[in-house]
């Protein structure tokens, strides 16, 4: 083992009481050795000499056996104090003032002075003062003037040295504490850095997983084109769906600096700009690109039908959802256009329209014959029918009309299903609509023995809508209410304003609808169990149609019912429609 490695094992940076005592022990051992030599320092007082040796041994034993670190560490100063007194005894035993062993004083003195606390300066100085002054007391008769001066002068010097040592030790302790604190801080920072690195690795793994997922989704979207542009419309995102739909690869588009409007029909863009201008929308500029994104710039997503034009000239009918593209700071940096090929959907709608038209013709034509010839029978003045025959005729006519209504309802439902039924949007005075419905239902109500009440306010309630369709909706509700209300009951049709909404509430005192069936009421062909149980005629299309009409006007149906008490169905319509109804409700056409 090398000296360096041996020394490195010594706990010199944090010495125990015993380690601090070692230099004193060594000093005493050397002194004892010198005193024992034949020509060494003579022992003038053997008891004091031995007492000094014994005292330093006791101090050393204390340093070994007492667990100073666990007690009050500052009390360990007792050991150098005892050692200092031992030096005093040693000195008295080896020539008193003339003893060369006074130099041993330095070892415990430095220990005491270097301990923390100013009190140790006093302890070191006073103990040293006692040691140095002892010969004067013990050898009082033999002291010289020089001895006296040295005895009083030396403690003063020791006091100054004690102050200096204490201060230096204090500063070193402060620096050591600061160094330790810095070390601790560095350790903490290192631990944090390691943790941050671990999190970074974890996040990187997550990011890779997310990127792979996005990439998979991105590659999987082959039936919709996703095109991203900057704020000016220059394309910088082009998915596989766009490649398939428009016949250009991502590289071709990005290298070719294509603009989104390069794939649009210019006539459609011009038409849209004209339309925007006509409707005083928030047209921020009038370039072609604005036709695509003006609504998005105003803060809303925009879903609209367009025609894409491929580089080979082929056209693709698409429905495009345009949305803002947002960066990590929430700023809009461009636009995203997600387009769905509507070619098949349009063809399907066209076929459905054709089918509806065909059915319309094929069902109405025989009904036309039936009703027409029945009327001829009734109007035959030359050979009039008997009363009984006229009654039979009335039954046939009533059922033919019923069939005609059913055909009409079915056709209308088919139009609603296909998302295409015409609305003639104008200013509508609901007071007139409600009054007309109530008046036309009065004969039926009278026959059924039901009281029909209209509650219409004096002021007019106006909305934007289709008069005929809204009338049809109210007719349906009133007709239903009359059918479901037993004789002696009451049907009330109330019109009122509620905030920004107009409400037409049709209340009856009828058989009601079970609560569990309320949500199914507006489904096609659904009939409430109370209706089938009470054999109320109908096929379950009235509310479907009513709901479709109301929804197309941007309104809603509120339904409340209690079995055996009655039902209240309200048509709630917006009074002010800031945008044309077609904008608010997709797939509804407005008649020119």
Partner 1 sequence: MSERKRVVIADDDDDIRGLMTIAANRAGVEIVAAVDNGSAALAAVQAGGIDLAVLDISMPGLNGVEVAEAIRADDGTRSTLILMVSASVQLLTDHGVVADRSDSFIVKPFSPRVLSTRIREMLELGEPA
Tell me: does residue 3 bind partner 1 (CB under 8 A).
no
Return the number of the residue (145 or 591) whose C-beta is nearest partner 1. 591
> What token pair was written down for 574?
């917006």
Query: Which two tokens mark 360?
Result: 């319309």
CB of 152 or CB of 373, closer to partner 1: 373
Give least dist CB 363 to partner 1, A.
Answer: 8
Least CB distance to partner 1 at residue 574 (A) = 27
Q: Could you say which of 357, 449, 457, 586 contacts partner 1 (CB under 8 A)?
A: 357
What helix, strand, coil percent values describe the chain, rounded to 5?
60, 15, 25
Q: Which two tokens mark 470?
A: 């809204």
Residue 364 binds to partner 1 (criterion: CB under 8 A): yes
369 near partner 1, rule: CB under 8 A: yes
Can you tell me which of 376, 395, 516, 535 binds partner 1, judged by CB under 8 A? 376
- Judged by beta carbon, residue 336 or residue 371, the one nearer partner 1 is 371
Binding of residue 562 to partner 1 (CB under 8 A): no
Q: Which stretch binds partner 1 (CB under 8 A): 79-87, 281-289, 322-330, 366-374?
A: 366-374
Q: Which is nearer to partner 1, 323 or 582 (CB)?
A: 582
Q: Is 367 in the site for partner 1 (CB under 8 A)?
A: yes
By the 8 A CB rule, do 165 and 110 touch?
yes
Nearer to partner 1, 333 or 404 (CB): 404
Near partner 1 by CB under 8 A: residue from 13, 312, 344, 379: 379
CA dihedral sign, ordered 122, 125, 131, 137: negative
Residue 541: CB minimum distance to partner 1, A: 18
User: Given the rule CB under 8 A, which of 242-250, 278-286, 359-367, 456-464 is the region that contacts partner 1?
Assistant: 359-367
CB of 307 to partner 1, least distance (A): 21
Binding-site string for partner 1 from residue 141 to residue 170, where x marks contact by CB under 8 A and - marks none: ------------------------------
The footprint of partner 1 on residues 65-94 (CB under 8 A) is: none
Q: Is 264 exposed, middle or buried (0-12, 13-18, 19+ CB in 10 A)?
A: buried
CB closer to partner 1, 348 vs 373: 373
The two tokens of residue 584 are 């608010």
Only one of the segments 17-25, 200-208, 372-380, 455-463 lies at the binding site for partner 1 (rule: CB under 8 A); that segment is 372-380
Distance of CA 111 to the CA centre of its chain: 64
End-to-end CA gap in the chain = 107
Residue 381 binds partner 1, judged by CB under 8 A? no
Tell me phi and psi for residue 502, to 5 degrees.
-105, 135
Q: What does residue 400 show for φ and ψ, rounded to 5 degrees?
A: -65, -40
Residue 43: count other Cβ atoms within 10 Å of its Cβ.
18
Identify which range of 182-190, 373-381, 508-516, 553-561 contacts partner 1 by CB under 8 A: 373-381
- Residue 151 or 473: the one with the smaller Cβ distance to partner 1 is 473
Q: Is 130 in the site for partner 1 (CB under 8 A)?
A: no
Strands (E), 35-178: none
Helix (H, G, I), strand (E, B) or coil at 505: strand
| CB 369, min distance to partner 1, A | 4
Question: Residue 523 carries which DSSP code?
Answer: S
The HSE-up count of residue 325 (CA atoms within 13 Å, CB side) is 18
Backbone angles phi, psi at 16, to 5 degrees: -80, 170
- Residue 503 Cα distances to 107, 349, 431, 462, 575, angstroms: 105, 34, 11, 11, 10
Pairing, β 332-341 against β 315-326 = antiparallel
519 binds partner 1, rule: CB under 8 A: no
Task: Answer yes or no whether residue 396 interacts with partner 1 by CB under 8 A.
Answer: no
| Choice between 75 and 373, CB closer to partner 1 | 373
Residue 20, burial from CB neighbour count under 10 angstroms (0-12, 13-18, 19+): buried
Minimum distance from residue 364 beta carbon to partner 1 (Å): 4
The tokens for 456 are: 């219409």
- Identify whether the C-beta of residue 461 lies closer than 8 Å to the C-beta of residue 495: yes
Count Cβ atoms within 10 A of the Cβ of residue 262 and give its class: 0-12 exposed, 13-18 middle, 19 or more buried.
Answer: middle
Smallest distance from the beta carbon of 380 to partner 1, in angstroms?
11
Piece of the chain touching partner 1 by CB under 8 A; list 164-172, 292-300, 371-379, 482-490:
371-379
Number of residues this chain uses to bind partner 1 (CB under 8 A): 20
Among 249, 365, 391, 534, binds partner 1 (CB under 8 A): 365
Reduced to 3 states (helix: H, G, I; strand: E, B; else coil), residue 591 is coil
Residue 250 or 397 with smaller CB distance to partner 1: 397
d(CA 102, CA 86): 11
399 sits near partner 1 (criterion: CB under 8 A) = no
d(CA 483, CA 511): 10
Q: Considering beta carbons, is residue 15 or 366 the nearer one to partner 1?
A: 366
List the one residue from 300, 360, 413, 467 that touches partner 1 (CB under 8 A): 360
Instruction: Give the C-alpha distances (Å, rounded to integers) separating 377 from 82, 203, 366, 396, 400.
Output: 145, 87, 17, 12, 15
CA distance 262 to 240: 18
> Residue 366 or 514: which CB sits closer to partner 1?
366
Our CB check for partner 1 shows the closer of 381 and 388 to be 381
Q: Which two tokens stand for residue 532?
A: 């089938």
Instruction: Using DSSP, state whether 228 is helix, strand or coil.
Output: strand
Contact (Cβ atoms closer than 8 angstroms) between residue 293 and residue 283 = no
145-220 vs 106-114: helix axis angle to the nearest 10? 40
Distance in Å, CB of 566 to partner 1, minimum = 36
Residue with tokens 């026959």: 447
Contact call for residue 534 and partner 1 (CB under 8 A): no
Footprint (CB under 8 A) of partner 1, residues 404-463: 404, 422
Q: Residues, the chain, total?
A: 592
- The correct pick among 347, 354, 375, 439 for binding partner 1 (CB under 8 A) is 375
Q: Which stretch binds partner 1 (CB under 8 A): 123-131, 183-191, 196-204, 360-368?
A: 360-368
Q: Minimum distance from CB of 505 to partner 1 (Å)? A: 30
- Only one of the segments 223-231, 236-244, 344-352, 370-378 lies at the binding site for partner 1 (rule: CB under 8 A); that segment is 370-378
Q: Is residue 368 involved in binding partner 1 (CB under 8 A)?
A: yes
- Rule CB under 8 A: which residues touch partner 1? 357, 360-361, 363-373, 375-376, 379, 404, 422, 591
């Amino acid at each position: 083992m090398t000296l360096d490695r041996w020394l490195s094992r010594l706990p010199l940076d944090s010495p125990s009481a015993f380690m601090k005592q070692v230099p004193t022990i060594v000093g005493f051992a050397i002194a004892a050795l010198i005193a024992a030599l034949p020509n060494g320092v003579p022992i003038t007082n053997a008891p004091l000499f031995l007492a000094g040796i014994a005292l330093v041994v006791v101090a050393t034993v204390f340093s070994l056996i007492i667990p100073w670190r666990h007690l009050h560490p500052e009390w360990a100063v007792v050991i150098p104090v005892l050692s200092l007194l031992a030096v005093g005894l040693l000195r008295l035993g080896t020539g008193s003032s003339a003893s060369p062993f006074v130099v041993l004083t330095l070892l415990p003195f430095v220990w005491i002075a270097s301990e923390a606390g100013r009190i140790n300066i006093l302890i070191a100085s006073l103990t040293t003062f006692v040691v140095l002054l002892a010969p004067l007391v013990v050898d009082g008769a033999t002291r010289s003037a020089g001895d006296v001066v040295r005895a009083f002068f030396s403690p003063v010097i020791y006091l100054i040295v004690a102050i200096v040592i204490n201060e230096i030790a204090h500063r070193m302790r402060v620096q050591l504490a600061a160094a330790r604190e810095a070390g601790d801080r560095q350790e903490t920072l290192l631990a944090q850095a390691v943790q941050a690195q671990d999190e970074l690795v974890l996040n990187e793994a997550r990011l890779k997983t997310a990127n792979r997922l996005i990439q998979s989704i991105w590659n999987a979207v082959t039936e919709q084109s996703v095109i991203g542009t900057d704020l000016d419309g220059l394309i910088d995102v082009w998915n596989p769906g766009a490649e398939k739909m428009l016949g250009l690869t991502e590289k071709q588009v990005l290298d070719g600096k294509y603009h989104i409007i390069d794939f649009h029909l210019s006539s459609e863009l011009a038409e849209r700009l004209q339309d925007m201008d006509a409707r005083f929308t928030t047209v921020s500029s009038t370039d072609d690109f604005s036709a695509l994104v003006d609504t998005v710039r105003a803060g809303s997503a925009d879903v609209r039908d367009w025609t894409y034009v491929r580089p080979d000239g082929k056209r693709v009918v698409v429905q495009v959802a345009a949305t803002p593209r947002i960066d990590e700071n929430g700023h809009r940096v461009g636009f995203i256009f997600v387009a769905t090929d509507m070619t098949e959907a349009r063809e399907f709608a066209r076929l459905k329209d054709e089918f509806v038209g065909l059915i319309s013709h094929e069902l109405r034509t025989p009904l036309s014959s039936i009703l027409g010839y029945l009327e001829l029978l009734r109007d035959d003045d030359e050979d009039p029918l008997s009363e009984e025959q006229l009654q039979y005729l009335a039954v046939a006519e009533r059922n033919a009309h019923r069939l005609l209504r059913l055909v009409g309802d079915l056709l209308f439902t088919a139009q609603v299903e296909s998302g295409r039924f015409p609305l003639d949007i104008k200013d509508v005075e609901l007071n007139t609509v409600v009054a007309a419905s109530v008046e036309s239902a009065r004969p039926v109500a009278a026959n059924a023995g039901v009281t029909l009440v209209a509650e219409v306010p004096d002021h007019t309630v106006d909305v934007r809508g289709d008069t005929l369709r809204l009338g049809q909706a109210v007719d349906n509700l009133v007709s239903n209410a009359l059918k479901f209300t037993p004789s002696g009951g009451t049907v009330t049709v109330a019109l009122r304003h509620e905030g920004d909404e107009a409400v037409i509430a049709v209340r009856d005192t009828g058989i009601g609808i079970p609560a569990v069936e309320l949500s199914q009421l507006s489904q096609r062909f659904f009939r409430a169990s109370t209706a089938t149980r009470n054999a109320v005629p109908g096929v379950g299309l009235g509310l479907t149609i009513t709901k479709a009409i109301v929804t197309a006007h941007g309104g809603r149906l509120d339904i409340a019912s209690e079995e055996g008490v009655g039902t209240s169905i309200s048509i709630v319509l917006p009074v002010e429609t800031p945008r044309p109804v077609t904008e608010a409700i997709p797939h509804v056409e407005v008649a020119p």
